[in-house]
């Protein structure tokens, strides 16, 4: 698990997702897909979530 204190910027979720995505594409020969919120994905790629889902009890808080 990777936890970052912010969503934006080079050390936030957005920057981390972009760097991980770029490295994943470099290692695999896959097509990029743009998601409904504008994020880029590839089939089988792990995803870093941008918010907690409190209804599902999914949280990064202790």
pLDDT tens digit at each of 62 positions of the chain: 777 788 788 888 788 888 888 888 888 888 888 888 787 888 877 765 656 666 765 545 54
pTM (whole model) above 0.85:
no
What is the reported pLDDT for 12? 84
Q: What is the pLDDT of residue 50?
A: 59
pLDDT at 44: 79
CA separation for the pair 9, 56 (Å, rounded): 27
Which sign, positive or negative, has the C-alpha torsion 40, 44, 45, 48?
positive
Q: Which distant-in-sequence residues (6+ apart) come within 8 Å of 55 by Cβ?
A: none
Identify any residues that bridge with 58 across adjacent strands, giving them in sequence order: 53
């Amino acid at each position: 698990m990777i936890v970052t204190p912010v969503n934006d910027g080079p050390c936030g979720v957005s920057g981390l997702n972009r760097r991980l995505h770029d490295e994943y594409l470099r290692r695999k020969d896959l097509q990029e897909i743009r998601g409904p919120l504008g994020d880029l994905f590839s089939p089988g790629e792990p995803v870093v979530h941008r918010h907690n889902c409190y209804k599902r009890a999914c949280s990064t808080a202790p």
